[in-house]
Each structure stands twice: as C-alpha cells, then as structure tokens.
Amino acid sequence: MKEELIARVIQVLRINMSWMTWNLFLAFIPLALSVWLFRFRRGGSWLWWLGFLVFYAFLPNAPYLLTDVIHLIDDIRTIQSVWMITLVLIPLYLLVILSGFEAYVISLINWGYYLHRIGKSQWIWRVELITHLLCAVGVYWGRFLRFNSWDFITQPDAVLTKGVEEILGKQPLVIVAITFVVLASLYWIMKRVTLGLSQRDSKIGINSGRANSNTPNF
C-alpha cells in the first residue's frame, strides 16, 4: 500500500514538474526584462521600446500561476493521502505559486523604480493599477481562451477579435474584475513585505559594516 502511494506521488510530481517548470520560466522572463529595462537602461531607443512591449506581453504569465491551484484539486483527488498532501503537495504548490507572484511583484517594483528615477513618481500607483487590469485580462485570456504571450505575433487577429469579443461578456467581465481585485490586494501585501525585507537587509548590511571596520561598505 505504501509503495503504491509513493509511486502515485512520484507520478503526480513528474507530471507537475513539467508544467510548473515551464510556467515558472515564463513568469521569470518579465522579471529578467524588468531588471534590464528599468534598472540598467534608459528609455528612448527602439530596442528599449521593443523590450518594453515584450515585457508587458509576458507579464501576465507571473500572476497566471495563481490559477494553477486548480491542478492542486485534481492532485488531491489522485493522491488521497492527508500526510502526502500536507507535507509534499501543498508546500510544492505554494512554492511555485508564490515564486511566480513574487516575480510579478519585483517586476512592478523595478518599473516603479524607473518611474521614480525619471521624475515620474506620481505615476507609480496609476501604472500599477493599469498593469493589474491588463494582467487580469491576460490571465483570463490564458486560462479560458488558451492564448499565449507569443500569440500577439503569431495570431494577432485572433487576439484582437476573439479576445476582445469574449472579454466584453458579462461573465468574463466579472471574472476579470475579481482577478483585478485579487491581484491588486496580493500585490499591495507582498510589495510591502518585499520592500520591508530588502530595507531590513540593507540596514543589517550597514550596521555590520559599521561594526567591522575591515568589512567594505558598498
């Protein structure tokens, strides 16, 4: 019985690792782009604007991982072991989902840093809200219409016609609105946690630098 259960868990993990790895890879693309665009570059060139468009095309992949919780329900039905679900499955899903959403949070923090750097700090909260709305639409397109980020290039007509047509229905609008509220709320919480941890680490670094005169202070 134990061997059977362990074999079933391994099978579920193998299946999950495939899509989890791929979805995390897609979620970290906008994070990498945000570092390049907003930390090391200054806008204006055609290359920057191209990277900016790609950034927004891939950004919904990060919060999209929140919807992957539907796979957890199926896996729970498959495994049917309280201990395996509690100690293996749920921690794995939490790690993947939180990692994807943290990539979203840091990407927008970098975007806000760029706006602050160019003297547009007053636009940060507006840009964040607009981004949450755009990503809510993107999450709906990805989960229900099965569009991918590269469909903007491979089939832009389908995205603009079917995507816009579907999004104007009553039920899609409700789903998008709920997704927007969830994204905005989670982002507000995790942004403060992330900034709080980074500020604490920087203070620890400064204090340790003062305590040890032989340690270089960067």
Between the CA atoms of 21, 26, 30 and 31, what dihedral angle is there, to the nearest 10 degrees? 0
Q: What is the pLDDT of residue 81?
A: 78
Between CA 97 and CA 105, with CA 99 as vertex, the angle to 5 degrees is 105
Q: How many residues does the chain have?
A: 218
**For residue 148, which phi and psi values (nearest 5 degrees)?**
-115, 165
Q: What is the pLDDT of residue 213?
A: 41
Structure token digits, residue 15: 């299946």
Q: What is the pLDDT of residue 209?
A: 53
Per-residue pLDDT of the chain (218 residues; tens, 9 = 90+): 567 767 777 777 787 888 899 999 999 999 999 999 999 877 778 899 999 999 999 999 999 999 988 888 888 887 777 888 888 889 999 999 999 999 999 999 999 999 999 999 999 999 999 999 999 999 999 998 888 888 888 888 888 788 888 888 889 999 999 999 999 999 999 999 999 988 776 665 555 555 444 433 32
Q: What is the pLDDT of residue 12?
A: 76
